[in-house]
């Protein structure tokens, strides 16, 4: 079963367009934003004003005969047509069935209002016909009035003549921006009396071709002459036909929406960023943070401490005089719980900074993927800013990492054993010394045999040997263990730093860039609603 998506009501579409503009404010160039806002505002305003009246405006180059044509359609010389240019400098309105049109005319900014008797044409409904200043005027205010009203009227009538109909400036600057408005556009080739009969059609077709090139499809060119009156009835009939449908007002607004949303529609949402990109960035950032060196140093600190505690006491005391590798690196091993402290490590060196920058930039490229230019540029700018803060973020991430340099308490049993072993050896030595120099002191304990033997071995010798051997063996064993466990410490430290770095990059890089992507997606959603 086919699913038909219904268009939202026009009011909702305009509201969605306004919201899209709000979302896009930090991203889109000023003029593009202004276009969106203008359509959203003008559409909503027009809808709040008289829906009965159809507003028709005559637009064209100076001297094309807008005023003469206006007078001809009205049937009375209301406006001043003249050979001196430009002539019309403020809008003039002929109003059929004027009741309820005041606010609409206020909004249009038309002061000169001429109410007419009766209907414009049977079935056309209330109608306002506007004679306007030239839109290619040397007078800036004329241009402004014509341009503003081109954005406000319901039906646009382009009035040209055999001399100017192909003028590229007129097409490029004035007609093409209204390419979406075919349904509410009429075109007039005035001064047709200047052409020979057979040429009128040729020039009219040529004008039509140019309009098609502008993007206006199905717009018929009506040849007129205010001198002979030819074609004036055709023009009146064409206006009546559009007005009679009573859809010009909303068709115009829809055309405006199409015109400003056209370039965004169909681009689709950006969605999430490729997961691999984050992994690659984190690998680069961990490298830049010195994860390997810190892991190696933590393992070295672990080995040193284990040796201090469980190593052979005759040699291990020497290690105590060597500085702790972690302290030498400027690292505190207790994690910074609040997450604001810095380590005392020196700032990242230039190569590390370059690695970190490359990591962030690589991620930013992935985060910009699928975004239109303005948003992609915003991602790039933000990434640039983030890059500057990254060295400090990495340092804080390292400060937050718990470094497992401390051997577990279980090892202290071996510390006791080492001391006992040393004590045994010491007792053996003292025994011999006492036997040699103060035998009287031993006599009360051992009687005649001051140095008893076991299996032919003197006991003090056994004590000395056992003490020394035990110490040496325990020392050797824990050195081997220290090496194995140290490798684990290194692995765990590296993983812990990677975890902290990944968390830091999530909040410092991923989140802010995701916000831009999210903004774009919301923009795309609203544009899609507006476009219908
Ligand atoms: N031959 C000929 N001349 C015309 C025709 N319509 C207007 N004119 C003349 O063209 C000149 C300009 O006419 P306007 O009606 O003032 O032209 P406009 O477009 O209102 O000019 P602006 O108000 O300056 O923008 C006048 O001298 C008119 O007499 C026509 O159909 N044929
Ligand atoms: Mg005029």
Q: Which residue has the higher pLDDT, 76 or 342?
A: 76
**Ligand 1 midpoint to CA 81 (Å):** 6
Question: Given this model, what pLDDT does residue 270 score?
Answer: 86
Buried b (16+ CB within 10 A) or exposed e, 88-123: beebbbbbbbbeebeebbebbebeebeebeeebbee
Question: Given this model, what pLDDT does residue 443 score?
Answer: 84
Is residue 7's pLDDT more than 90? no
- Which residue do the tokens 């993007």 mark? 215
- Measured from the CA of 60, which atom of ligand 1 is nearest? 19
Is residue 137's pLDDT more than 90? no
Cβ 78 under 6 angstroms from ligand 1: no
- For the segment 442-456, the average pLDDT, to the nearest whole number, is 86
**Mean pLDDT for the chain overall:** 93
Is residue 446's pLDDT more than 90? no
In the 8-state DSSP scheme, what is residue 180? Answer: G
Query: Would you tell me how many other CB atoms lie within 10 Å of the CB of residue 9?
Result: 10
Ligand 1, residues 59, 65, 73, 92: which to mutate, most atoms within 8 A of Cβ? 65
- For the segment 504-522, the average pLDDT, to the nearest whole number, is 96
**What is the spatial distance between Cα 24 and Cα 285, in angstroms, rounded to a whole number?**
32
Q: Give the model's confidence band at 506: pLDDT under 50 very low, under 70 low, under 90 confident, else very high.
A: very high
**Ligand 2 midpoint to CA 159 (Å):** 11
Q: Give the model's confidence band at 339: pLDDT under 50 very low, under 70 low, under 90 confident, else very high.
A: low
Tell me the CB-side half-sphere exposure of residue 312, using CA atoms within 13 A: 14
- Measured from the CA of 134, which atom of ligand 1 is nearest? 25
Cβ 142 under 6 angstroms from ligand 1: no
The pTM of the full predicted model, rounded to 2 decimals, is: 0.80
Q: Which two tokens stand for residue 157?
A: 């009538």
Cβ 517 under 6 angstroms from ligand 1: no
Q: Which residues surround the ion ligand 2 when the cut-off is CB under 5 Å?
A: 66-67, 87-88
Is residue 354's pLDDT more than 90? yes
Question: Given this model, what pLDDT does residue 328 score?
Answer: 82
Is residue 3's pLDDT more than 50? no
- pLDDT tens digits, one per residue of 39-64: 999 999 999 998 899 999 999 999 99
Question: Given this model, what pLDDT does residue 90 score?
Answer: 94
Question: Given this model, what pLDDT does residue 2 score?
Answer: 42
**What is the spatial distance between Cα 498 and Cα 502, in angstroms, rounded to a whole number?**
6
CB 308 within 8 A of CB 336: no
Does residue 225 have a cis bond before it (omega within 30 degrees)?
no
Q: Which two tokens stand for residue 57?
A: 């405006």
**Ligand 1 midpoint to CA 109 (Å):** 24
Is residue 139's pLDDT more than 90? no
Query: Would you tell me how many other CB atoms lie within 10 Å of the CB of residue 525?
Result: 15
Q: Which two tokens stand for residue 376?
A: 């992609």
- pLDDT tens digits, one per residue of 141-177: 999 999 999 999 999 999 999 999 999 989 999 999 9
């Amino acid at each position: 079963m086919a699913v038909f998506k219904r268009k939202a009501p026009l009011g909702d579409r305009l509201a969605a367009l306004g919201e899209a503009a709000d979302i896009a404010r930090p991203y889109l160039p000023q003029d593009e934003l202004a276009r969106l806002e203008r359509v959203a505002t003008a559409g909503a305003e027009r809808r709040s004003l008289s829906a009965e009246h159809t507003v028709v405006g005559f637009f064209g180059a100076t001297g094309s005969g807008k005023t003469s044509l206006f007078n001809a359609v009205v049937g009375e010389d209301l406006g001043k047509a003249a050979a001196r240019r430009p002539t019309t400098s403020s809008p003039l309105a002929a109003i059929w069935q004027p009741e309820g049109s005041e606010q609409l005319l206020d909004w249009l900014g038309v002061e000169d209002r001429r109410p007419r008797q009766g209907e414009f044409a049977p079935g056309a409904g209330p109608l306002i016909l506007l004679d306007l200043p030239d839109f290619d005027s040397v007078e800036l205010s004329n241009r402004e009035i014509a341009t503003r009203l081109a954005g406000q009227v319901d039906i646009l009538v382009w009035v040209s003549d055999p001399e100017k109909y192909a003028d590229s400036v007129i097409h490029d600057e004035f007609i093409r921006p209204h390419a979406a408005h075919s349904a509410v556009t009429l075109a007039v080739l005035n001064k047709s009396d200047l052409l020979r009969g057979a040429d009128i059609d040729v020039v009219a077709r040529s004008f039509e071709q140019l309009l098609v090139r502008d993007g206006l499809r199905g717009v018929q060119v009506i040849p007129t002459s205010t001198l002979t009156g030819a074609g004036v009835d055709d023009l009146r009939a064409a206006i009546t036909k559009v007005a009679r449908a009573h859809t010009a007002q909303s068709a115009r607004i829809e055309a405006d929406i199409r015109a400003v949303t056209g370039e965004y529609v169909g681009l689709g949402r950006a969605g999430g960023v490729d997961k691999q990109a984050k992994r690659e960035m984190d690998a680069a950032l961990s490298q830049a943070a010195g994860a390997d060196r810190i892991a190696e140093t933590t393992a070295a600190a672990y080995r040193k401490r284990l040796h201090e505690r469980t190593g052979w006491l005759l040699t291990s005391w020497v290690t105590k005089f060597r500085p702790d590798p972690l302290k030498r690196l400027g690292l505190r091993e207790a994690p910074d719980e609040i997450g604001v402290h810095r380590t005392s490590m020196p700032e990242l060196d230039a190569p590390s900074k370059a690695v970190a920058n490359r990591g962030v930039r690589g991620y930013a490229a992935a985060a910009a993927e699928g975004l239109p230019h303005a948003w992609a540029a915003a991602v790039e700018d933000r990434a640039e800013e983030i890059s500057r803060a990254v060295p400090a973020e990495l340092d804080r991430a390292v400060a937050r990492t718990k470094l497992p340099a401390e051997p577990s308490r279980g090892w202290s049993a071996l510390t006791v054993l080492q001391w006992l072993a040393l004590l045994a050896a010491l007792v053996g030595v003292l025994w011999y010394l006492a036997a040699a120099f103060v035998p009287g002191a031993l006599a009360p304990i051992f009687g005649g045999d001051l140095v008893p033997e076991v299996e032919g071995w003197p006991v003090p010798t056994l004590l000395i040997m056992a003490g020394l051997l035990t110490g040496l063996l325990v020392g050797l064993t824990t050195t081997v263990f220290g090496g194995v466990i140290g490798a684990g410490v290194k692995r765990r430290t590296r993983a812990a730093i990677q975890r902290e770095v990944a968390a830091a990059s999530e909040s410092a890089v991923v989140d802010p860039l995701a916000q831009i992507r999210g903004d774009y997606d919301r923009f795309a959603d609203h544009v899609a609603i507006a476009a219908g």
